[in-house]
Amino acid sequence: MTVQTSARESYHPPYQVTNSAETIMRFPFPFPEDTYMYSMNVEPHVRSGPVAAMHHTFDIDEHYVAECAEKARILEQDPKRCIVLPHMREAEWDFVEFAMTCLSEQYPQHFSLRREGQDWHWVNRLLGYEQSFVFGDATTLPLPPFEYMARQMQGDFTLHDQREDDLWMDGGMVTSQADWSLKFDLGMSFRQWHAPVPKAAEMGVFDRGLRFLLMLQPGKPVRRLNWTMTINPRLDTSPENFMVWGPDRASVTPENVADKVHLRVELQTLYRMPRSNAILFSIRCYLMPVRDIMRVSKWRRRLHRVLRDLDPALSSYKGLDLYRQTVVDFLAPYDDGAPLSSGIQPDADQPESVLASVA
């Protein structure tokens, strides 16, 4: 995966984000079937899968530098997007070790880590960082350990303490969330922060999910895909900034739908940390405009069917009601109704040309 080495892209106005053919084909399209209902849909995170976004512990793609720059911009405006409660200090160092080890081993051309006992030396060539520090001594880093490392990674991260037969969100860095707030959810239990999701509680999804996660073992991470839709390539759709991005949902027209509406997918991975016993929750956000989805025949047909038949309660919960029908109407002429293969993998090695798929 080629990584852009400068932050030429922009995830805030004026927007400027483009996806290469490689990025389109590695996109974690979230629909294995023609219909969708909320479920656990958890599987082992084994560094393989139907699309390349699943092939590393932490995925680095061509938008790395731009997304890290956007994260830094958001944190400068609102430092409380990163909060870790004091009792999670050991989990912070768990995260530092795990992230640095995975990145340096899986992307040695971009990252390196040298360890001599507790004396560590970290190099991030993509962002131009080089840091010697003493592992376990926060005074030897320029930022608190969790914040220092999370700033150098795409996506959001939360830390969950396990106690009282529950999981508690006791830390995190959240700058690319789909309309939820770390400041609001901090300290909540597993059921509390999932409470707004319609129908899932009645279906027993959260009870099963909590039982499963309480038994999560070190070295056996799991993953799932979650999705919604976003207007414009905006990573920061936080409730704190709803007055900024919320009105965009009323701006979709038949003429601009292909470029304005983005399928927003979260590759969610969960890891048991070995020292602290905390669970690290990684929420890696991918944005793909309808125009790019149109370039994959299977995906454009399936997206039409999923949105057309989506449960109204889920449509409302995901904030799609103002523009879902516009997207469905746009996609309908490109869906011939033919059967599609199950799974999320594309049905071709390369995307179609833009002109062939969108007149």
- The angle formed by the CA atoms of residues 351, 353 and 359, to the nearest 5 degrees, is 125
Three-state secondary structure string covering 156-190: EEEEEEEECCEEEEEEEECCCCECCCHHHHCCCEH
| Integer Cα distance of 48 and 44 in angstroms | 10
| Integer Cα distance of 225 and 283 in angstroms | 9
| Integer Cα distance of 26 and 29 in angstroms | 9
Half-sphere exposure of 59 (CA within 13 A, CB side): 31
Token pair in block for residue 70: 């956007």
Q: How confident is the model at residue 205, as a pLDDT?
A: 78
Q: How confident is the model at residue 301, as a pLDDT?
A: 98
Provide the residue ranges of all domains of the chain, joining segments of one domain with +.
Answer: 21-84+148-357
Indicate the pTM of the whole model.
Answer: 0.95
Q: How confident is the model at residue 6, as a pLDDT?
A: 55
Q: How confident is the model at residue 4, as a pLDDT?
A: 63
Q: How confident is the model at residue 201, as a pLDDT?
A: 60
Catalytic, 73? Answer no
Q: How confident is the model at residue 40, as a pLDDT?
A: 82
Residue with tokens 């409470």: 195
Q: Which residues contact 144 (CB under 8 A, 6 or more apart)?
A: 84, 92, 138
- pLDDT (tens digit, 0 to 9) for every residue of the chain, 359 residues total? 677 655 689 999 999 999 999 999 999 999 999 999 988 889 999 999 999 999 999 999 999 999 999 999 999 999 999 999 999 999 999 999 999 999 999 999 999 999 999 999 999 999 999 999 999 999 999 999 999 999 999 999 999 999 999 999 999 999 999 999 999 999 999 989 887 777 666 677 788 989 999 999 999 999 999 999 999 999 999 999 999 999 999 999 999 999 999 999 999 999 999 999 999 999 999 999 999 999 999 999 999 999 999 999 999 999 999 999 999 999 999 999 999 999 999 999 999 986 445 65
Q: How confident is the model at residue 197, as a pLDDT?
A: 74
Q: How confident is the model at residue 38, as a pLDDT?
A: 84
Q: Which residues contact 194 (CB under 8 A, 6 or more apart)?
A: 200, 201, 206
Catalytic residue among 115, 224, 249, 308: 224
| Integer Cα distance of 294 and 321 in angstroms | 21
Q: How confident is the model at residue 61, as a pLDDT?
A: 98
Residue 325 zone, left/alpha/beta (φ > 0; ψ -120 to 50; rest): alpha
CA dihedral 185, 190, 196, 200 (to 10 degrees): 160
- Long-range contacts of residues 350-357, Cβ cutoff 8 Å, at least 24 apart: 350/21, 350/25, 351/21, 351/24, 351/25, 351/292, 351/295, 351/296, 352/294, 352/295, 352/296, 352/297, 353/295, 354/291, 354/294, 354/295, 357/294, 357/295, 357/297, 357/300
